[in-house]
Structure 1
Amino acid sequence: MRFRRILATAAVAAVTTPVALLSVTPAFADTKPATQEQPGRLTLAQLEKAAAEAQKAYDDAVLAEKEGREVLEAALADTTPLAVAATAAVKAAEEAGTAKAAADKALADAEAALTDAATPEEREAAEKAVTDAEAAAKAAGEAKTAADAEAGTALDARDDERVAAVRAYDLLKKAVEKALEDKRAADEALAEAREEEGNEDDTCVPEPELTTVVTGLPSEVVAGEWVNFRLRLTNGTEKTMDEVYPYASVHATDRSGLKDIDDLLKLQWSSASSTTWKTVDDTYYIDPVSPLEAGAHSDIKLRLKVDAKAPAGQGVAFAAGDYYNDDESCGGTPDLATYEFEIAAAAAAGTPGNTPDATPTPSATPAATPTATPTAVAPTPQGGVSDQPVNGSLANTGSSSAVPQVALVGGAALLAGAGAVFAARRRRGGSAA
């Protein structure tokens, strides 16, 4: 009993045949398969293939980690050439130290004998002994210094080899963890797809007449500055929707497309009548509009800030909506509306000025959703529908635990995913997990 949408927002680089339905960075724009230009719902066969490839990637990572452990254990042994050389160098340094100590003692004894010399002959012999002892002590000191240096170099070489082996093994362990994470994501997506396929009682349906449009989001966002924009939900049907949950999220990478910088983004919202800003949480759902009457729309104020330390990059904003009625019917926008924007680093940024609004990505925007314009939301009704009445405001209920969740993969999956990115929307009120 659920409404479920599966969207891909990452290229699966860790499998033989990547699954890419939506490219959010130029780095992956040229690798998008021509047969998947229209983002949408992955088939069961595609999910099965992704899960099988994720399983293989995980098995390969486990095998590599096992072999890496053997390499590490060998590198840490005292029998490696560098370890043997280090042991020999340390022993030579110790012997040189012993020889220097003996030479120093011989010099001290010779100097004592010179002091005690009673006759000219004894004194002459003692002076020669001191001279010889001084030369021997100097040579022993130089030998010890050289031996100590050689021992230090040998120990550094041995330790560098061991550190490199430890680091290499650590990368293999992290690869196993990542492969397991990707495998679980792919398995979960496949399990949900199979569950949905066998669920004949699912009453949640795609509703193309429920539209989401973002306006006012500039095509360039300067790091360190807030940008304000709006999300408009429009009920284009002839029936009132008792509760409509707006969905909004943002994702970004650096210019290479390889580094996820989602943790440097802050997205907040407030209702049209509220002055209090709330941070969009990790469910990406905003408090519901309750109700949204037939032909009406409701606006949600949004603002985005990219941390001042963020590098230049590119981002994408997502918008969607789900509705739930008291009679337990439910549904939502068929696709996520997407809006791409550039990120200008704070140090190199100028004043955005009249930067045009971000425009929706055509392939990911519902057909009934108008293209965003560079202006703010117009105060007049959109598309001839009436304004949302007073009782169609955001309900102050907080994010319900029963609200469906859209799982959006971050930038790490852009590097090495092992399954499709999926979004599961669950019906309110006791839906199956």
Structure 2
Amino acid sequence: MMYLMRESCELMLTPARIAADLTKLACENPLNPFTYTVAGRSIAASCEIFERATRSYPKPAFGLPAAERIVWEQPFCRVIAFGEPSDKPKLLLVAPMSGHYATLLRGTVAAFLDTHQVFITDWADARQVPRAAGRFGLDEYIDACAAMFAALGPDLHVMAVCQPSVPVLAAIARMEAEDHPAVPRAAILVGGPIDTRRSPTAVDLLAQERGIGWFRQHCIHLVPPGYPGHGRAVYPGFLQLSGFMGMNLDRHLTAHWDMFNHLVEGDGDSASKHRAFYDEYLAVMDLTAEFYLETVEQVFITHSLPNGTMRHRGAPVDLGAIRRCALMAIEGEKDDITGVGQTRAALDLTPNLPDDRKAYHLQAGAGHYGIFNGSRFRAEIAPEICRFMADQAAPRPAPVPERADWIDRSVALFVVKAPPGRAAVPLRPV
């Protein structure tokens, strides 16, 4: 019901947004003398702030100076490759499926375009996926990660940003346990909630305080009519955005007040930067209910991965099985979403991985966003990641002889499912 109410409110505000747009155009018309007064600029600025605060934002484009190719696809995810196939080392960025689109990592992609052949996961908005496509929970997420690693390998480097650190690490552990030949050469975990008992943040404490029943009752809604996923149970993106905004409400209010003043003062450059940031930040997507609830329960409440109780398709997820895939953990000193130590836990939970295949970087002065984007990331973190990946380029032990069991499973992982009535999308050369 909440989803439907939100959609109704947006429709009711449409005439007001149209009126605000028309008023803004009138107050910015160079033939209108009122345009050159403080009052005229103030009205135009107010109209723009109102229109931007009440609209829905579409999925942004990457807009990078590199051609985009789809090299792998399933109903809930596709992998985008940037540029033409090359001999550069392969790097797959696993974007967070936590409300924002993969374009949030635009700057992360750009930082590696010159040195690597870059791929990124482009997760689907759950409200755009028909119910006939089936469920998508943690098991399916781990399956998708393993299938991507197999399709893009061998010698693939993987970088998981925030939320996907847990399923990515789980997929690697399962592949290692099965002696799969396409285990990634290295995995970089950036601000990932591997063990949220360490330095718990407000996000972690809320999950512990509320319990899974509260999230199931208050956060799950059905997609309303008008979308391909009509009737699918989801965690709506607008709820996730409300949580993001609420954590730093004063900062967002100040940013919008600053934009109003920039518009009145005619500071177009500063206003453009504000627009670019919030065009990205306010564009959100829905998550499937099963994925959201399973993630909250296993990552933030029961801590199943660090406790050693996590299972995938009934099989144990044993981090002790990781012996070949090098690991790097990156954290931010001022991260208020993933506390210091939560990502580093991955290094402690992999006792059979040699120490010379592990690395840790704590970025001084950086918050959550700053450890995968921005000036600190480009100047200090990205070079560390490149050095780590280069160090893992040396030949590793000979692969385990082929076995029928993982061959059968590899074939299963390569199958690309499609909704009824659509042909499966074949894998494309990378």
Give the TM-score band, short-chain normalised: under 0.3
Decide which structure has greater helix share.
2
Which protein is bigger by CA-based radius of gyration? 1
Structure number with the bigger relative contact order (C-alpha 8 A, sep ≥ 6) is: 1
Decide which structure has greater strand share.
1
TM-score (norm 2): 0.24
